[in-house]
Amino acid sequence: MLKRLFPPPPEPELANEPLQKVDALGGPLGDIKHSPEDLARATALATGEHAAMFSHLDVRQSSCFGPRWTKMWAIVMNGTFRVYQNQASAAPHRVYEVKDCDCHVGEREACRTDYYCFKLQHADGAASFCAGSSKELLLWLQALQAGGIKYEDPPLDLKGISSLFSLSAESLSGEPVELSRYAGCVCLVVNAASK
């Protein structure tokens, strides 16, 4: 029987960078879905001086079998968006300057069912992120906006369009509908989510 003469090398400690940042911001957010006090604190944090938000986000990543969703930890603070493998990571997996990103929000094919998604477009590429609730998504968008993100929509070419009835829309079943069929009728146009 061989006797170990030297102790095994110590395992490297994780720096817990995300948790250190959360502690610096006042600790975990609490139950923002059900507690008005916790939601008020999170909203003040997202829109305040540090413009901060943190939580788990599902991130869409490419793999050899097609896109897959990975749960990661993210923090936006002081104009920087950091994505970590988990809460105990030693360093961020990706870091983006918020002011260098465009944000796209809404229903998208790349989004997971029953999640609330946003997409960040950067010079190095794009990534889709899913929050677990609409309140969480709103906090992310508030913090990103306070951090300087761009929400600019591409300009629409409206040349030759003089009336609402020159346009078409998509019905709930996905079929195109020419609005000219409603000419002469009193119409109320509403943009409503269908899912």
pLDDT in tens, 153-162: 556 677 778 8
* Residue 159 is assigned to a structural domain of this protein: no
Q: What letter does residue 112 receive in the DSSP assignment?
A: P
Percent of the chain predicted with pLDDT > 70: 82
pLDDT at 112: 65
Cα of 30 vs its chain's centroid, Å = 19
Any idea what the CATH number is for the domain that residue 140 is in?
2.30.29.30
Q: Does the pLDDT at position 75 exceed 60?
A: yes
pLDDT at 11: 46
Q: What CA–CA distance (Å, rounded) separates 116 from 130? A: 5
* Residue 33 is assigned to a structural domain of this protein: yes
* Residue 190 is assigned to a structural domain of this protein: no
Instruction: Enter the pTM of the model.
Output: 0.67
Q: What CA–CA distance (Å, rounded) separates 140 from 116? A: 11
- Of the listed ranges 2-11, 81-90, 161-170, 184-193, the least confidently predicted one is 2-11
What stretches of 3-155 adopt beta strand conformation (E)? Answer: 53-63, 66-77, 80-84, 94-97, 102-105, 116-122, 125-131
Quote the domain boundaries for residue 90: 17-146
* Residue 151 is assigned to a structural domain of this protein: no
With beta carbons less than 8 A apart as the criterion, state whether 50 and 83 touch: no
Tokens (6 digits) for 74: 């993210």
pLDDT in tens, 82-139: 999 888 888 888 888 888 888 877 655 556 667 788 888 888 778 888 888 888 988 9
* Residue 11 is assigned to a structural domain of this protein: no
- Return the closest-CA partner of residue 118 out of 87, 80, 74: 74
Tokens (6 digits) for 78: 């002081």
* Residue 119 is assigned to a structural domain of this protein: yes
What's the rounded mean pLDDT across residues 170-182? 83
> What's the number of domains the chain is made of?
1
